[in-house]
């Protein structure tokens, strides 16, 4: 029996879905202090067609450079790439100053 994954929405309502029942997987990963990526093993029997990630906390990073200030790119961003049959890679645009936990869902 698959365990339900509970997602709390902005409106305070709880949305429960048994991700595994529809062929997906869910979990958590952490980009460690000083790093800008983490490889995540998703556990699906195939390459997912959908991956979403959500940080659990506001990203903390070092002081922005002059070029970042001038370009207006001082905010931490994140993205997923290298999605494969067993893993995907979660990246941040800058090294994180403290561990940055994420929740993820794949289908």
Q: Tokens 């800058």 label which residue?
A: 94
What pTM, to 2 d.p., does this model score? 0.71
Within 10 A of 91 (CB to CB), how many other CB atoms are there? Answer: 16
Burial class (CB within 10 angstroms; exposed 0-12, middle 13-18, buried 19+) of 102: buried
| Per-residue confidence band for 100, with pLDDT thresholds at 50, 70 and 90 | confident
| Per-residue confidence band for 77, with pLDDT thresholds at 50, 70 and 90 | confident
In this predicted structure, the answer to whether residue 38 has a pLDDT above a threshold of 60 is yes
Identify the pLDDT of residue 11: 46
In this predicted structure, the answer to whether residue 41 has a pLDDT above a threshold of 70 is yes
The side-by-side arrangement of strands in the sheet containing 87-92 is: 37-41, 87-92, 78-81
| Per-residue confidence band for 16, with pLDDT thresholds at 50, 70 and 90 | very low
């Amino acid at each position: 029996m698959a365990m339900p994954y509970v997602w709390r929405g902005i409106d305070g309502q709880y949305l429960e879905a048994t991700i595994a029942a529809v062929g997906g997987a869910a979990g958590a990963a952490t980009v460690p202090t000083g790093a800008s990526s983490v490889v995540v093993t998703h556990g699906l029997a195939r390459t997912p067609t959908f991956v979403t990630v959500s940080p659990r906390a506001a990203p903390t990073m070092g002081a922005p450079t002059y070029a970042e200030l001038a370009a207006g790119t001082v905010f931490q961003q994140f993205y997923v790439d290298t999605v494969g049959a067993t893993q995907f890679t979660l990246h941040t645009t800058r090294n994180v100053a403290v561990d940055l936990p994420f929740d993820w869902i794949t289908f």
